[in-house]
Amino acid sequence: MAELSRAEVRTLMAEVLTKQGKTLPESDDASLDEIGFRSLDFSELALKVEDEVDEELNFDAPGLRAIRTVGDVLDFITELLES
C-alpha cells in the first residue's frame, strides 16, 4: 500500500474537523468525544486517506470500537496503511 505518514494523516484529520469549525488538538491523548469527532468524521477521514493512497482501506467494525483518542485514530490508520 502507498505511504502516508502519521503527520499527513493528522493533517487530513484536522481538515475534516476544520470543515465543521472545530480544531484538532495538539495532543494525541485528546478524547474524540471531547473534540466532537464522530463515526461519520472517521468515514470522511478514511475516504480522504483512500484518495491520497489510491487504494481502499479494509477495516473491521470491532477494531473501530476500540478507538477513543486522536492517537488511536492515527495508530489505526497507520497500521492499515502498513498492512
51-75: pLDDT as tens digits? 999 999 888 777 788 899 999 999 9
pLDDT at 1: 53
Give just the sign of the alpha carbon dihedral 60, 77, 37, 33: positive
Rounded Cα gap, residues 83 and 70, in angstroms: 20
Q: Where do runs of H (alpha helix) occur along the chain?
A: 6-18, 32-35, 39-53, 61-65, 70-82
pTM over 0.85: yes
- The cell 465543521 sits on which residue? 20
Rounded Cα gap, residues 12 and 66, in angstroms: 21
pLDDT at 62: 79
